[in-house]
Amino acid sequence: MRIWRFTYFSLLFGFFLSSVPELTGSAELSVAVELGTTIRINSSLQTNCKVCIKQGTQQLCQSAVVLKSTTLLDFSCSLPENVFTVQIIRDNVFNIEPKEHNALQKFNRTFIWNLKPTATQILHLNFSRTGLRQIHPTDSCPDKHVYMLTVENVNIGRFCQNGTIRQIDVRKDGKLSLEVSGGRTLDAKVIGVSLGRLVNSLANIHVVLPERSSTQDFFTPNAFPESAETMWYFTVPQAYYTDVRILDYTVPTCLQPENIPTMKYTWQGKDPLVKLMNVSQPSVEPGNFNLSIQNCKMSVPQPPSQALMVHFQISAIKRSKGQCEGDLPEKQAVQIRVMKKDPKSTCVLKLDSVIMDTITIASGNHFVLNSFDCNKDEIELTVNQTIECKEWKDCASTPFPLIFNYEQQCIPGVLKTIIWHLHGPQNSAVELQSPAGDLRHCLPEDKCNSIILLNVSHVNSSITLGQFCPRGTIEKIQIRESKIAITASVRSFNDRNLATKPFLTYSYTQAISEDYIFTVAPKMDNPTVLATPAWPSGMKPSSTVSWIVNLEPQFKSNLMFRNVSQPKCKEVHTNIAVQTIRSQKTLYSTKKDVKIKDLLVPESFYLNMTNCKSPTGAFRAVVEITQQNGTNKLLPIILSIVGVVLVIIIAVGIWIVLRKKKKNKAPPVSVYNPSEHAFLPGLHGFPKTPEEEDPHTYAYIDETLVYSHLLEEKEEYKKASTNENDPPLTNPPLPARNNESLITKNKALTDNELYGYVKGQSTTSDTPKSLEEEGLGNLSVTAKSSQKS
């Protein structure tokens, strides 16, 4: 138990000794004091440690001493540096040269230079060798060297070395101090002092910003006197731009509210710019400038917490600058919006010295647009152009190109969106066409495989008709509205010349019966997708849309209703109708609560949709049209094969019939002989009767021989004619008359009768008869007579 008590008291006594300065023992120092220098040694703690000075045979010990000459000091404690602080004071109006006192190096010491300018001059303190950086009143410096400046008992600020402050001007009595921590070697740098002309401000602080990106903090004097002023002079390197930000501030209650403290900026060649504390300060400003802050006259003394205090920051950065200056002609009715894509980017836009993330330039205004560190892709341009045509005489029916003449090429950025507002005459309709090709209705869920996406909407109601892409099947869009807006959104608009090419052509016509009319020409390669206006929203109540679908000849189309939403109507129901154009035949018309079916339309057609007056729900539809060839490709092949087979069958049948006839016929054959000599081919020795001896008598005529002989020897029959003045034959005649047989038994044909038939005339009539009228009828009679015989 005794051992534990001894150990406990030993530890407690050791802790007590480590917690307080060592007061036991003594220390003796010899301090050398230069002429004009005063050294004050003060105790910073309430201790029994004293500093003693021998005066003759006596020794005077006290807690503080003032030394003006070399003195031997005796401290009653072994570590006096933990108890005492040292002030080394000099009156100085020339260059300031801090000097170390080696005997006092272990002490926390403060070098103080009293500043006493004349009544008509100020002192310039030149810190070009050391450079100062202002810090917060409670902060310290890394090298344990802290400068402080006081003027008229007002603390101008605390500073560290190696900063951008090169000079401070002081108009009245003040002092400059340098605090150095104990054990630190004094970093002795000369501070130049010179006289200058008197100024009104409490202090002038000159700052030279480095040629690199930098940020500096500055503070107004602590306990800022009323009506006092402090000025900062900033020197900015070439091609560097400064930004000013207020990080913290307090404003006192002024006797006159209109005199509230402000930030007053002055650039060379420009009018002063005054800013309140609670607004944005100048940014991205080139060139040197001055900043002054002046306190107001206060109604009542303010406590320190409510006194004027401003903590502001100056940033400087080297920037690349672009400038565009010009005018937008008023007649164009154009508005250009220049906008940063990312507000956090380093890109800076300024319009007439005002920094904005979005800048609007309107027609009729002169503008100066500056851009700093802005890449082309960081800025987007949106153009709004209004095109009016109020009188019909000024609105020709010919299409107008929809283009934008981009004259201000110096404006930075990428042209992203162009919006045209078309204002036509009252009760007019607008027709839209694409000169570069037809359009395609691009649904929200679809992708537009083009750099341009067109959006058509109403100006008054802001109802969107739809989005459209190039390379489609819509040839024309007609809108029963005199005011519409067309927006061209460009996905990749690196070529500004593209804006000069017409996106669409527009024209004004008389009002149409439907709200919208689309003229469509489907293609074979891809299905055509059509959607009701404002898809996926519903159509307006009582609105009508029509599609004129033109198909190529011999083509048909498959009409598919992919997505149809029917509302509930109080009175007249919605209607979807399909009617052919050429035959005017209604192929389809919906009825209430009837499921819509797909159709196969054989020709060009109309597709009409009408919404009811007061729908509950949305009326919308998506239709797909697929064009198909109207004829079967196998049908011509099949018909050709069938035709060839029929020809072969007919030829074989004729050949069999003719062959059978030849077997049944008598072998003698008599033909007409123009030489007037009868003969029997192949039977020259056959005995002749008196009747047969008559050269003008014919016993038998074979129709095949008669026809072939007459056709082949037409010229010979002409020569055998007794009348050479008769007209020549034009068509081969037939040698038989109506109701007569080719086999004559009792009455023979004479030469004159036969000749009359040869010339196309009968012996009993003077009227010419054609081959069909005379010969074909005789052929049928001859065939019947032959069968009877």
Give residue-wise pLDDT tens across range 333-391: 888 999 998 888 888 898 887 888 999 988 888 888 988 888 888 999 898 988 888 88
- Tens of pLDDT, residue by residue over 166-186, are 999 988 888 999 999 999 999
Distance CA 184, CA 171 (A): 33
679-708 CB burial, b ≥16 within 10 A, e <16: ebeeeeeeeeeeeeeeeebbeebbbeebbe
Average pLDDT over residues 287-302: 89
Q: Which residues pair with 67 in a beta bridge?
A: 39
Is the pLDDT at 733 greater than 50? The verdict is no
Is the pLDDT at 6 greater than 50? The verdict is no
For residue 65, what are its two tokens?
């001493």
Average pLDDT over residues 683-692: 47
For residue 515, what are its two tokens?
């709200």
- Distances, alpha carbon 439 to alpha carbons 436, 455, 467, 477, in Å: 9, 12, 10, 9
Q: How confident is the model at residue 17 (pLDDT cuts 50, 70, 90)?
A: very low
What is the H or E stretch that residue 52 is in? strand 51-55
Is the pLDDT at 689 greater than 60? The verdict is no
Average pLDDT over residues 55-73: 86
pLDDT at residue 747, rounded to an integer: 39
pLDDT at residue 287, rounded to an integer: 92
Helices (H), 509-563: none
pLDDT at residue 25, rounded to an integer: 56
Asked if 574 contacts 564 with a C-beta cutoff of 8 angstroms, the reply is no
What is the torsion angle, in degrees rounded to the nearest 10, for the CA atoms of residue 350, residue 354, residue 360 and residue 365? -100
Name the least confident of 5-14, 27-36, 639-648, 685-694. 5-14
Average pLDDT over residues 716-724: 46
pLDDT at residue 637, rounded to an integer: 66
Helices (H), 170-248: none
Average pLDDT over residues 134-154: 92
- Tens of pLDDT, residue by residue over 646-675, are 888 888 888 888 877 766 655 554 444 444
pLDDT at residue 644, rounded to an integer: 83
- Whether the model clears a pTM of 0.85, i.e. scores above it, the answer is no
Is the pLDDT at 693 greater than 80? The verdict is no
Q: How confident is the model at residue 405 (pLDDT cuts 50, 70, 90)?
A: low
pLDDT at residue 515, rounded to an integer: 92
- Tens of pLDDT, residue by residue over 190-225, are 899 888 888 889 999 999 999 999 999 999 998 888
Average pLDDT, the chain: 78
Selection from 703, 711, 669 nearest residue 686 by Cα: 669
Name the least confident of 27-36, 71-80, 768-777. 768-777
Q: Is the dihedral of CA 170, 174, 178, 179 positive or negative?
A: negative
Is the model more confident about 436 or about 2? 436
Is the model more confident about 778 or about 177? 177
Percent of the chain surpassing pLDDT 70: 76
Q: How confident is the model at residue 774 (pLDDT cuts 50, 70, 90)?
A: very low
Name the least confident of 90-94, 161-165, 775-779. 775-779
pLDDT at residue 22, rounded to an integer: 44
Is the pLDDT at 237 greater than 90? The verdict is yes
Q: What is the distance between the terminal CA atoms of the chain, rounded to a whole angstrom?
A: 172
Q: Is residue 765 classed as helix, strand or coil in its secondary structure?
A: coil
Average pLDDT over residues 750-767: 39
